[in-house]
Amino acid sequence: MSEKTVQLTTAQAIVRWLANQFIEIDGEELRLCGGGFGIFGHGNVTCLGEALHSHQQELPLYRGQNEQSMGFAAAAYSKQWLRQRFMFCTASAGPGTANLLTASGLAHANRLPMLMLCGDTFLTRLPDPVLQQMENFNDPTFGVNDAFKPVTRYWDRISHPAQVIQSLPAAIATMLDPGDCGPVFLGLPQDVQGWTYDYPEVFFAKKVHRIRRQTPDSEEIADAAALLQGALRPMIIAGGGVQYSRAVAELTSFAEARQIPVVETIAGRANLVADHPLNIGPIGVTGSDSANAIAEQADVILAVGTRLQDFTTGSWTVFAKDARFISINAARHDAGKHMSLPVVGDAKVSLLALDQAAGGYTAPSTWVAQAKQERQAWDAYVAKNVSYGDNRPNSYAQAIGVVNALCDKRDRVVAAAGGLPAEVTANWRTLDIGTVDVEFGFSCMGYEIAGAWGARIAQSQREPEQDTITFCGDGSYMMLNSDIYSAALSQKKIIALVLDNGGFAVINKLQNNTGNESFNNLIADCPTVPQPFAVDFEAHARAMGAEAETVANPAELADAFKRAKASSQTYVIVMKVDPYIGWTDGGHAWWEVGTPHITDSDRVRQAHVDWESSRTKQRRGV
């Protein structure tokens, strides 16, 4: 019997195949691809656009305003779905596709699935050079799309219609792999998109995917258990991988049974609620005094689902030099960092195995009591830090405290680059599991509003009654604000807190802390700005379809936030904050930044000496 085939263009085959991929989540079958974000141009409208038009019910296409922000939205969508579902982004050949590079870097750094379907130059080269083609004189196969190779987990250029039979499953396998998860780039030459092929019909049959849970090696578990059983001052670092593994319950049970204090990374915020007795706080450069204090004394550290980046480790100064690490991670690359004893495996499965192997071990009660005492002191600091009504200048912390007190426990909070990630990490008291998205893996300005839009699209599919709330500085707002319009257009409500400190104030703070004069960060300190003036953020947001208001202080912010919660529309609240006073002073570990070894400035020279004085605590390893 001859094989049944169907003739389709390359673009039609890609879209039809995507529409028939499903995933099982909590016993429910959902379409694996939640749709896409698209801006059409000559490189993707005539063929891919035609194919998407025929599948707009299965794969809804959200109209983006900027390709970079589309990628941010797609990353936030997959993060909200705990990497179990993804969105695609489509951009035209040339600058449209190039605009996705930063978003791809963000998804790559954060290990997030995202599919990019991007236009490419003609495979035949008959019309070369074409509009927007970046010519390489010595290699005609090398172009703008090749720039995505360092920031993707899977990269391919579709050079023949039959190729998608192999490329698409490989792309999905990458995006669903716990250890190799990340963005996928498929270059689609404009001519190949429209070429036809007789595809086997079985290729388009419905397929239900499940995410693999890798079982750890039994000897690695035994070694980890032996090390843990000898610990006098153990500590758990809970990273974002705990949530992606859906292992929060197992982590909590393990910590409670063994009475081991838990600290959270930035990506791991909201693994435990704030008042859990073993939650000792966020760790690292933007962490808490409580977490950093016990990290300094811990002798065995169980790191679960974290890549141990410098903000977590204080550039590797927050731990005792002789502390031993056990790293549970689905990614081999992350599990072996800094001389860790690796346990390569799924967090849920590995914690269950380690629990069984650890026998009756529990941490000494004096150590646990000390950790809890440290957390109580930190809680008192945060309570004072977020308080208002004492005529202090407006601060990020106060705005965070207002929202924290009034939001619903299942509302999602988003922050990204600038000073707000540190302030949210330090001051936000988690009300429920998995409700915080602080994007500090790639620390991308502009993620705040676009990410909130993408998160809201995902949130509306499971918790439509909840709100997505984003904290955004004026610098990030000016860099990428157009998805206020996207949110209003698509009726995916977000609440944006725009906190205006007159420029890039956190970098000005770093500039000053390293002995440098304020220069080119605050608008008032830009030598090329003769007459500084403020932006009317309220009017701007209203012009893009949002409801908006400006408040003078945290008390007015509280009333405005209640109105925003009650509204059905995207809502922007603007408040000025002081660029110098009101920063969270506690909780900061050392962070390695390059300071000048020679300078004519006495202040810069002394700052260099002071900064380098902490290097003696730096742990060395690979």
Q: For the segment 375-413, what is each residue's pLDDT rounded down to a tens digit?
A: 999 999 999 999 999 989 999 999 999 999 999 999 999
557 SS3 class: helix
Strands 86-91, 114-120: pairing is parallel
Domain boundary among 170, 186, 209: 209
Q: Are residues 235 and 203 in the same domain?
A: no
237, 303 contact by CB (below 8 A)? yes
Query: For residue 385, what is the DSSP state?
Result: H
CA dist., res. 392 & res. 602, Å (int): 32
- pLDDT mean across residues, the chain: 96
Q: Are residues 240 and 172 in the same domain?
A: no
H or E stretch covering 350: helix 347-357
Q: For the segment 258-276, what is each residue's pLDDT rounded down to a tens digit?
A: 999 999 999 999 999 999 9
Q: Are residues 262 and 407 in the same domain?
A: no
Domain boundary among 176, 209, 242: 209
Quick one: average pLDDT of 517-546? 96
Tokens matching residue 293: 């204090």
pLDDT tops 90 at residue 337: no
Strand partners, 168: none
Placement of tokens 């236009």 in the chain: 119
CA angle 45, 49, 53 (to 5 degrees): 150
CA dist., res. 570 & res. 301, Å (int): 43
pLDDT tops 60 at residue 622: no
Backbone angles phi, psi at 163, to 5 degrees: -60, -30
387, 295 contact by CB (below 8 A)? no
Quote the pLDDT of residue 132.
85
> Alpha carbon 104 to chain centroid distance?
12
CA dist., res. 420 & res. 417, Å (int): 7
**In-domain check, residue 2:** no
Q: Are residues 438 and 352 in the same domain?
A: no
Q: Are residues 58 and 114 in the same domain?
A: yes
CA dist., res. 481 & res. 392, Å (int): 29
205, 165 contact by CB (below 8 A)? no
Q: Are residues 357 and 410 in the same domain?
A: no
Question: Which residue range is the domain that position 58 belongs to?
Answer: 8-209
96 SS3 class: helix
Tokens matching residue 265: 């990374």
pLDDT tops 80 at residue 2: no
How many domains in the chain? 3
CA atoms within 13 A on the CB side of 310: 9
**In-domain check, residue 617:** no
Q: Which comes out higher in pLDDT, residue 619 or 13?
A: 13
**In-domain check, residue 591:** no
**In-domain check, residue 48:** yes
* Angstrom distances, CA of residue 172 to CA of 13, 21, 168, 322, 366: 15, 9, 6, 42, 49
Q: For residue 262, what is the domain's CATH number?
A: 3.40.50.1220
pLDDT tops 70 at residue 1: no
Q: For the segment 140-150, what is each residue's pLDDT rounded down to a tens digit?
A: 889 999 999 99
* Angstrom distances, CA of residue 85 to CA of 32, 207, 406, 487: 5, 14, 30, 20
Q: For the segment 552-566, what is each residue's pLDDT rounded down to a tens digit?
A: 999 999 999 999 999
Quote the pLDDT of residue 621.
65
Quote the pLDDT of residue 527.
94
Q: For the segment 18-35, what is each residue's pLDDT rounded down to a tens digit?
A: 999 999 999 999 999 999
In SS3 terms, 563-620 reads as HHHHCCCCEEEEEECCCCCCCCCCCCCCCCCCCCCCCCCHHHHHHHHHHHHHHHHCCC
Quick one: average pLDDT of 64-92? 97
pTM for the structure as a whole: 0.96
Domain boundary among 343, 375, 407: 375
319, 235 contact by CB (below 8 A)? no
**In-domain check, residue 622:** no
Strands 196-200, 5-9: pairing is antiparallel
Q: Are residues 468 and 552 in the same domain?
A: yes
182 SS3 class: coil
Q: Are residues 312 and 453 in the same domain?
A: no
Question: Going by C-beta distance under 8 Å and a sequence separation of 6 or more, which residues neighbour residue 47?
Answer: 9, 10, 11, 188, 190, 193, 194
CA dist., res. 242 & res. 351, Å (int): 10
100, 25 contact by CB (below 8 A)? no
pLDDT tops 70 at residue 185: yes
Q: Are residues 404 and 363 in the same domain?
A: no
CA dist., res. 617 & res. 45, Å (int): 56
Tokens matching residue 573: 């609240």
Quote the pLDDT of residue 134.
85
**In-domain check, residue 544:** yes
Task: Name the residue type at position 100.
Answer: L
Q: Are residues 296 and 412 in the same domain?
A: no
Question: Going by C-beta distance under 8 Å and a sequence separation of 6 or more, which residues neighbour residue 510?
Answer: 593
**In-domain check, residue 621:** no
CA dist., res. 19 & res. 35, Å (int): 9
Quote the pLDDT of residue 339.
86
Q: Are residues 202 and 345 in the same domain?
A: no
Quote the pLDDT of residue 133.
85
CA dist., res. 117 & res. 48, Å (int): 9
DSSP-assigned states of every residue in 454-510: HHHHHHHHH-TTS-EEEEEEHHHHHHS-THHHHHHHHT---EEEEEE-SB-HHHHHH
Q: Are residues 175 and 86 in the same domain?
A: yes
**In-domain check, residue 246:** yes
DSSP-assigned states of every residue in 366-384: HHHHHHHHHHHHHHHHHHH
Q: For residue 398, what is the domain's CATH number?
A: 3.40.50.970
Nearest CA among 268, 271, 274, 236 for reference residue 255: 236
